[in-house]
């Protein structure tokens, strides 16, 4: 039987979340506040997970560390559930959140699922494929699964579970609106029931 429920944990506050400039978005570490959030989140994992899945990005790895310390014998796997990289790292190099905002707005206003911002970015279509692959891989697991990753990825997955996953301008528009209005907080736990649900 597929896992039910699954805990999706957004990483703790990173230096990028705190508004600091970033040289490499994938290597943005946790702040002191983020490490405290990670400890508090780990304290809520009172049952030993059967599997711990972690994004390859540094902020997710650091958030998962207290869970690993608490349950050192839990099998751990790294899956490609990293954040949606829709802006080219080369273009946003050294910018903080405010500096990236105009480029982010321009990306979403295009409403083009196939647009790629650069060689080091991905299209929404590719992102959707990663969501689908995550769902299919998750359904192959059993027991209590804890996943540590990123707010936008998890929000998109939650949306897909609720209404299907459609690679279209409308889906992009509605997802972006929801993600801006009700984003996941750092350290927040999202409990989902993927069993029996097929993304389309």
In a domain, 200, yes or no: no
Rounded CA separation 58/27 (Å): 5
Rounded CA separation 175/160 (Å): 9
State the pLDDT at residue 28.
82
Q: Tokens standing for 198?
A: 């097929």
pLDDT tens digit at each of 200 positions of the chain: 567 789 999 999 988 776 665 666 567 889 999 999 999 999 999 999 999 999 999 999 999 999 999 999 999 999 999 999 888 877 777 777 777 788 889 999 999 999 999 888 999 999 999 999 999 999 999 999 999 999 999 999 999 998 899 899 999 999 999 899 998 999 999 999 887 666 65
In a domain, 197, yes or no: no
Q: In total, how many domains does the chain have?
A: 1
CATH number at residue 101: 3.40.50.1240
Question: What residues pair up with 143 in beta bridges, in sequence order?
Answer: none
Phi, psi of 87 (to 5 degrees): -105, 140
- Contact present, 17 and 42 (Cβ < 8 Å): no
State the pLDDT at residue 21.
59
Task: Find tokens 């060689």 and name the residue.
Answer: 119
Q: Which domain holds residue 83?
A: 6-19+30-192
Task: Find tokens 């899956």 and name the residue.
Answer: 79
In a domain, 92, yes or no: yes
State the pLDDT at residue 20.
63
Burial class (CB in 10 A: 0-12, 13-18, 19+), 190: middle
- Whether pTM exceeds 0.85: yes
């Amino acid at each position: 039987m597929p896992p039910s429920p699954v805990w999706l944990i957004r990483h703790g506050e990173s230096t990028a979340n705190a508004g600091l400039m970033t040289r490499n978005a994938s290597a943005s570490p946790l702040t002191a506040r983020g490490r405290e959030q990670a400890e508090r989140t780990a304290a809520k994992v009172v049952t030993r997970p059967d599997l711990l899945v972690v994004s390859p990005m540094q902020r997710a790895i650091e958030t998962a560390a207290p869970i690993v310390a608490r349950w050192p014998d839990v099998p751990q796997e790294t899956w490609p559930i990293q954040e949606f990289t829709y802006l080219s790292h080369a273009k946003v190099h050294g910018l903080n959140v405010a500096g990236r905002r105009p480029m982010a707005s321009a990306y979403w206003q295009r409403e083009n699922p196939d647009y790629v911002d650069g060689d080091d970015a991905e299209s929404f279509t590719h992102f959707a494929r990663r969501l689908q692959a995550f769902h299919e891989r998750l359904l192959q697991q059993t027991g209590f699964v804890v996943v540590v990753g990123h707010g936008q990825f998890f929000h998109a997955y939650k949306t897909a579970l609720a209404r299907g996953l459609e690679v279209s301008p409308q889906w992009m528009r509605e997802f972006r609106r929801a993600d801006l209005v009700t984003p996941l907080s750092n350290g927040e736990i999202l409990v989902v029931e993927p069993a029996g649900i097929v993304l389309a």
